[in-house]
Amino acid sequence: MSKPAIDLDNLPYADGDFYSFEELLSDKERSRLAEVRAWLTAEVRPNAVAWWNEGSFPQSLIPRLAELDSMSPVHRQGYSNLFAGMMHAEFTRADTSIATFIGVHDGLFTGSIELLASREQQEEWLPDIYAFRKIGAFGLTEPLGGSDVAGGTRTTARRDGANWVLNGAKRWIGNATFSDWVVIYARDVEDNQVKGFLVDTSLPGYSASRIENKIALRTVENADITLENVVVADDFHLKGANSFHDTNKVLKVTRLSVGWQAVGQQLAAFDVARRYAVERQQFGRPIASFQLVQQQLVQILGNAMSSMGMMVRLSQLEDAGTAKDEQSALAKAFTTARMRESVAAGRNILGGNGIVTDYEMAKIFSDAEAIYTYEGTQEMNTLVTGRAITGISAFV
């Protein structure tokens, strides 16, 4: 008699939540998370590989995202940062590119408005942003200013009566090929401080061109932006964005959500590798029956759970209002290092099929590289933490 096939969905820990972290959410949050997970399973995951192979953003998803109504879970909807983090991990588990689109539109762009715009500006702009009627981007990085952009912003803002005139270039700006607005961070030539501006992408002198040939996050459209004498009315200067210290308020929160992306990425690798290991037969047996394969699956789970434990605690500190920059920095550095190990193990478990996108894992493996670099590289987040524990800055 042949053995019954293993019903993976009904095994203990089928959801990968080995330590029941989800139980820390309120009942309302758990049921909302289940709703979002079901939506992602139906709307995103089945299409994600095709979108990625095509290499352009699926515009048809935008009205569906508006219906899901997941924007600004903490600031607008009153959920905890813990819930927001777990939801962002779920987006990533379904597809890292779609999570990154949300991370840019909701986290970096909307976060800039929520944290740095005046009340009047927020009242005017946020309704369209929350409803996805206006799509946003976040323009900080420059062709010559990446890790050192805080002190090295070259894009300039010059006050001219009731207006500002912006000149310069930005690189890697997600969503900016089609976004309606982009928050541009530029150095005021008067006081040398980095200020933030809401720039309408139809303004004369603004242009954006798509960065081609990416090996990661192919569904996200990243752009090179050029600003040539772009005139922005002072009403579009974010009233609370007057130094890089202000910009950092946004980055601290978004770094938290990138740590959660690293969790989602590892859970995605776990899902795909576990299923493959149980189904793939070699030597007349599922490869999951080999001890060395089980060891690799357990390594992925252990990495994912240690990352999740760290992110849960950091989110709780954020909810308590006490999370520090360096705590976000260490979490981003640690979870993305574990993520790199996990996706490599997952890729290995799929053998040759791990390098074709048809089996999902190649997409998961490649997308991890972008997460590893954006929101502060491994080295920069390590040095931010190093500065906190020694009192000595190794980079400025």
The footprint of ligand FAD (CB under 6 A) covers 104, 138-141, 146-147, 172-174, 217, 222, 370, 373-374, 377, 379-380, 383, 395
Q: Which is nearer to ligand FAD, 77 or 248 (CB)?
A: 248
* Residue 165 burial (CB count, 10 A): 18
Tokens 């139980």 -> residue:
23
Residue nearer to ligand FAD on the CB measure, 79 or 109:
109
Closer Cβ to ligand FAD, 261 or 296, answer by number: 261
Q: For tokens 């478990």, name the residue.
A: 349
What tokens appear for 23 in the block?
A: 């139980």
Closest among 287, 323, 330, 275 to 307, alpha carbons compared: 330
52-88: string of b/e by CB count within 10 Å (b at 16+)? beebebbeebeeebeeeebbbbbbeeebbbbbbbbbb
Minimum gap (Å) between residue 262 Cβ and ligand FAD:
14
Closest contact distance (angstroms) between CB of 157 and ligand FAD is 16
Residue among 83 and 372 whose Cβ is closer to ligand FAD: 372
Residue nearest to ligand FAD according to CB distances in the complex: 146
CB of 135 to ligand FAD, least distance (A): 13
The CB-of-372 to ligand FAD minimum distance in angstroms stands at 9
We find the least distance from the C-beta atom of residue 374 to ligand FAD, in angstroms, to be 4
Query: Distance between CA 92 and CA 81 in Å, rounded?
Result: 16
Decide: 37 and 90 in contact? Cβ < 8 Å. yes
Nearest distance in Å: CB 95, ligand FAD: 14
**Rounded (10°) angle between helices 27-43 and 45-54:** 50
Residue 90 or 367 with smaller CB distance to ligand FAD: 367
Separation CA 271–CA 386 (nearest Å): 34
Q: Which is nearer to ligand FAD, 140 or 273 (CB)?
A: 140
